[in-house]
Amino acid sequence: MTTTGATEIVGRGNRDGARLFRQWFAELNDTAENGGQAAYVFVMGSLAEILRVFDLPMVFPEINSLQTAVRRIAHEYLNEAEDYGYSPDICGYVKADVALQLRGGDHPMGLIPKPTVAVLTNACNTYIKWAEIWERMYHVPVFTLDVPGTRMAGGQTWAGDQDFENDHRYVVAQLKELIALCEDVTGRRFDIDRFRDVLQNASRMNRSWKRVLELNRNRPSLFNAVTDGTVYLGVANGFKGTEEGSRYFEELVEEMEFKAANHIGTLTEEQYRLIFVGVPCYPIFRRFNEMFTEWGGTFPTSTYLLFASGGTNHGFEYDLNRPIESLAEGLLISVRDAMDNMFYQDQVLVKMIDDYAIDGVVYHPIKSCRTVSTGLADNRRAVMASRDVATLFIESDMMDRRVVSEAQLKNRIDAYFEGLASRKRRLAESVS
Ligand code: SF4
């Protein structure tokens, strides 16, 4: 490939991701201005596969909220919700959304439409209380898909197992209820052929997302799970089931394969390969990442890439001959996987350490998301008992800059890298 070709392909995922994001929010803005219908959904089990059949534009309030933090105005929204009566302790995403609703949908990327219906899963308990707020504000129907979780300490059951088959029937029945609800809300009939098209696109995206994650086992790593990964996650959620989203991920595979073949890493000199555990520090997003990259540290993978994609990483491919049953099967496997990547993270991390040749694990528990932060100290102990890796435990927040101390974070991160450097030296001396 020529230099021009390389310039076109390297970084394409980030460029196209930003373009798709703007396009998505422009469409939401048009919907809001024209008073159109919209579904409010969440990243862990959006049920895009069904909602797209009804052409319901999807609003991801979690993504709206994190965008306010990346744009450094989250505190305005948080203060407004706290003045309204919400506690400083609860999920910051919820509060930013409450303020956004109080402002009539005013968001830095455009106007956000009001919900016609809210669709959620039980993957996070906050989802359930959050949807009740919209129910009270707008009197819209709320549909909660109850996905039975893993019962055996991180060990899933699979098709053929009696437990799985029972759970599967339960999810199929719920999906049929959702279809009936969407028919009722939109006044449209469910089109099974359209559904098959959507599932086919979703399969293409799932397959490619899995491949992109695998390709980052490469040394040097090809993308940064914290920064680039957040762009990819946005597209995975916002464009699931669409031709554009599937093409985006197929092209992303092509970009990563090109980088692997040409030894183009995300850093010029990769020194340390780290796993990021938790949700990023969005109020100082760029600077937070630089504190690691300045030392030659990068994140080939993270638990965030798994749970915030709703288990898309599993690469589930739908059987178009039995579409509803197959979607139920895919949801059981993927949403459970997303939950396991929060609740059984020690097992996930040990596998990642081996697969990605990891030097260290960075734990980032955050004040306003208990779901992913609870138990991380125990998790750290379990991982260290199982693998000889250096770990770092730093606390801040994904939304609230009042609890983010940049200087304190930098001190802890610098000390961590000094420790990693001396470990590396000792290891080299013992080998020579
Ligand atoms: S997973 Fe955390 S950030 Fe997301 S809705 Fe639940 S509590 Fe909030």
Q: What's the pLDDT tens digit per position in 236-250?
A: 999 999 999 999 999
Instruction: Tell which one of 127, 343, 396 to mutate to probe ligand 1, the residue whose CB is within 8 A of the most ligand atoms.
Output: 127
The SS3 call for residue 410 is helix
- pLDDT for residue 87 is more than 70: yes
pTM of the model as a whole = 0.96
* Strand ordering across the sheet containing 272-278: 297-302, 272-278, 360-364, 390-393
Residues 150, 340: contact at Cβ < 8 Å? Answer: yes
Residues 45, 338: contact at Cβ < 8 Å? Answer: yes
Rounded mean pLDDT of 396-419? Answer: 97
Residues 142, 178: contact at Cβ < 8 Å? Answer: no
High-pLDDT (> 70) share of the chain, %:
99
- Kindly indicate the confidence band of residue 152, based on its pLDDT and cuts at 50, 70 and 90: confident
The reply to whether ligand 1 has any atom less than 6 angstroms from the CB of 369 is yes
- Amino acid making up residue 312: T
pLDDT in tens, 59-75: 999 999 999 999 999 99
Sequence-distant (6+) residues with CB within 8 A of 155 are: none
Distance (Å, whole) CA 132 – CA 143 = 11
pLDDT at 5: 72
Q: Which residue has the higher pLDDT, 348 or 190?
A: 190
High-pLDDT (> 90) share of the chain, %:
88
Ligand 1, residue 398: give the atom nearest the CA: 3
Peptide linkage before 220 cis (omega within 30 of 0) = yes
pLDDT at 311: 84
Distance (Å, whole) CA 184 – CA 143 = 13
pLDDT at 314: 87
Half-sphere exposure of 53 (CA within 13 A, CB side): 26
Instruction: Tell which one of 44, 233, 307, 371 to mutate to probe ligand 1, the residue whose CB is within 8 A of the most ligand atoms.
Output: 371
pLDDT at 225: 98
Distance of CA 126 from the midpoint of ligand 1 (Å): 6
Q: What rounded mean pLDDT belongs to the chain?
A: 95
pLDDT at 154: 60
pLDDT in tens, 7-60: 899 999 999 999 999 999 999 999 999 999 999 999 999 999 999 999 999 999
Distance of CA 183 from the midpoint of ligand 1 (Å): 29
pLDDT in tens, 412-424: 999 999 999 999 9
- pLDDT for residue 370 is more than 60: yes
The reply to whether ligand 1 has any atom less than 6 angstroms from the CB of 124 is yes
pLDDT in tens, 267-300: 999 999 999 999 999 999 999 999 999 999 999 9
